[in-house]
Amino acid sequence: MSQFAPPSEGIKPADLLGHLVIARPLRYEPEVTTIHGVKDAVAVDVADVDTGEIYTECLWFNGVIVGRLRRHLGEIVLGHIIEGTPRPGQKPPLLFNYANEDAAAVARGQAFLKAHPEFATTDTPAPTASTPAPVPAPKPVAAPAASPAAPAGISPEVLAALPAESRALIEQLSAAQAA
C-alpha cells in the first residue's frame, strides 16, 4: 500500500446540480489558460452530502461560483448547487446557494462533518510541492493618460488598478453620460 494519496477524480459543479455540498475553497487561481480561453478558477475540496462522496483539489471555473467561493478560502461553506436565470440564448449559470438558513441542510451538513472529521478541519496546509502557494494578484498596470472619457471622481490610480475590461466599461459609460 502506497503512502501517497491517489489522485482525485474531481467533480464539476454541473455534476452536483441540486445537491447539498460542503465546499472548502483552498486557493484562488486567476487567469488559468484553458481550451476555452483564460479563466479564473478556485481549487476546492468538495463533500457531496447527498452521496457521501468527497472530492479533493477540484478546479472549478464557473465564474459566479468562483466569485462566491474565493471569499471563503480556508473556510467550510455549506450550500446547494443550483441553476440561475439564463440570459437570452444562453444556458442557465450554475450558482452556489448558501444553505446556512436551512435548518435541515445545516443538520445534515453537521452530521456529515461528524461522520467525516477529516473534512471538518479548516486548517489550510502550508504550501508544498503538491499544494502550490497562492498565486499573487496581478500588479496594476500604469495609469492610462488622462482622457476626456475618464469618469469624474475616479482617480487614475484606482482606474489603473481595475482590469482592462472594467476600465473600458467605465470609459464607455462616462462617454455615454457625457453625450
pLDDT in tens, 114-127: 999 888 775 544 33
Same domain, 20 and 96: yes
- Whether residue 5 lies inside any domain: the answer is no
Residues 65-80 pLDDT 10s: 999 999 999 899 999 9
Residues with Cβ within 8 Å of residue 47, at least 6 apart in sequence: 21, 22, 23, 53, 54, 55, 112, 116, 119
Residue 9 confidence (pLDDT): 57
Question: How many domains does the chain fold into?
Answer: 2
Same domain, 35 and 92: yes
Same domain, 75 and 110: yes
Query: Residue range 80-92: average pLDDT?
Result: 91
Beta carbons of 79 and 59 less than 8 angstroms apart: no
pTM of the model: 0.62
Q: State yes or no: pLDDT of 94 exceeds 80.
A: yes
- Whether residue 100 lies inside any domain: the answer is yes
Same domain, 102 and 156: no
Domain of 111? 13-120
For residue 70, how many other CB atoms are within 10 A of its CB? 17
What is the spatial distance between Cα 23 and Cα 55, in angstroms, rounded to a whole number?
Answer: 10
Same domain, 116 and 147: no
Residues 127-178 pLDDT 10s: 333 344 455 555 454 444 444 444 556 666 666 666 666 667 677 777 766 6
